[in-house]
Structure 1
Amino acid sequence: MKIGLFFGSFNPIHIGHLIIANSVVEYANLDQVWFVVSPQNPFKKSSNLLHEQDRLIMVRQAIADNPKMNVTDIEFGMPKPSYTIDTLTYLTDKYPKHDFKLIIGEDNLKNFPKWKNAEMILQHYGLLVYPRMNAEVSGLEDHPNVQFFDAPQIDISATFIRRMIRENKSVKYLVHEDVEALIKLKKFFQE
């Protein structure tokens, strides 16, 4: 199977994530997209992160009705901070018949060469890149293992959603309705 890996904190998963995942599975000739819920991103502070199990449950809720999407907690048991190359290597060892590709936003291309083992990721896995507004030229646009796919450019951020929740404002249409119900039930992000 051809699997696109969509890494993120998903704090919370929102409609923008789902639109990107659906677009890549449709336009990049994938069998599935796997959401990789990251317990700790090496480039982000973890203090405002909801517990990893809660974020995993939200992703499961958001994609439950789509057989082309899956979620994995593979990084939960790995050393922290987790690095993409380590996760890719682990998944390749665990699922040798799958062909994994890394999904990233165009805005991440410029800094991609600074990632741990970036050349190895490019050589062995390749990148599926979705468009982002105001993305800078990276020099990777013509790389043979970098494939761009079409997707709507929707500027939704989890930070904005968390602020709306703290301000007791509706996040309807920004998150899947089952995720919204879970956020309300568990009082997530209300601090």
Structure 2
Amino acid sequence: MKKVGLYFGTFNPIHIGHLIIANHMVEFSDLDEVWLVITPQSPFKTKKTLLEDHHRHQMVYEATAAYPKLKPSKIEFDLPQPNYTINTLVHLLEKYVEGYEFSLIMGEDNLKGLHKWKNYETILEHHHIYVYPRITDGFSNHKFKGHPKIHHVDAPIVEVSSTFIRQQHKAGKNIRAMLPDAVWRYMDEMNFYRN
């Protein structure tokens, strides 16, 4: 049974924080692979700020090329939008009927809002969730504390965001150190996020 962690995001753009977390999860947990699932449209974000799907997929592909246990996934590109995690999980289980076990990877901040997700009880019933820390007000008094399907991984706290990168790049700041080299080159060549 191959244990796959699904790391969902718009990756607009993918940055070193995403890579550090994905690599840490696959190296320091019982996951065999991490798939970076590029979301065409999150129910919580507006589409107008997003680069086209194929450009974001290309950047994730470039970023993960040197990491054999990290895979870009465009599984959500052909699913109805906005994308709900439960629908993607059902689709994956239909596509990969045997030999795969799918878990979710999310930040502690997202875990606190899990009860607002569509069919979150079904997700928890059938899938494990690997949680990485964020700088927040902590995990105490949280509804999912001690849940047997939720695993906290002591990953590095990385406070880099795609929003910050886009804003500062547009403002003319040098944000190259926050991006994998191949992503920076692609972004620069394509003149993304400059206006």
The answer to whether the superposition gives a TM-score over 0.5 is yes
Gaps of 5+ in 1: none
Q: Which residue of 2 aligns with 1:113?
A: 115
Report the Cα offset of residue 26 of structure 1.
1.3
Between the aligned partners of 1:128 and 1:135, the Cα distance in structure 2 is 19
**Distance in 1 (alpha carbons) for counterparts of 2:94 and 2:177:** 38
Identity %: 45
Aligned residue for 1:47, secondary structure, equals helix
Q: Residue 25 in 1 paired to residue 26 in 2?
A: yes
1:148 has 2:149 as partner: no
Q: Distance in 2 between matches of 1:57 and 1:187?
A: 15
Distance in 1 between residues matched to 2:87 and 2:63, nearest whole Å: 26
Shift of residue 136, structure 1, vs aligned partner:
4.7
Superposed displacement of residue 64, structure 1: 0.3
Q: Conserved in 2, the CA contact under 8 Å of 1:107 and 1:135?
A: no
Taking structure 1 as the reference length, what is the TM-score of the superposition?
0.97
Distance 2:22 2:145 in 1: 21
TM-score (ref. length: structure 2):
0.95
Aligned counterpart, 1:182: 186
- Taking the aligned partners of 1:174 and 1:181, their CA distance within structure 2 comes to 12
Unaligned ranges ≥5, structure 2: none
How far did 1:135 drift?
A: 4.5
Most deviating of 88-97 and 36-45? 88-97
- What pairs with 1:62-141 in structure 2 (closer than 5 Å)? 62-96=63-97, 97-137=99-139, 138-141=142-145
Give the paired residue count. 191
CA contact (8 A) 1:41 1:81 kept: yes
CA distance in 2, matches of 1:62, 1:146: 28
CA drift at 1:159? 0.7
- Between the aligned partners of 2:137 and 2:29, the Cα distance in structure 1 is 20
Instruction: State the alpha-carbon separation in 2 of the partners of residues 60 and 4 from structure 1.
Output: 17
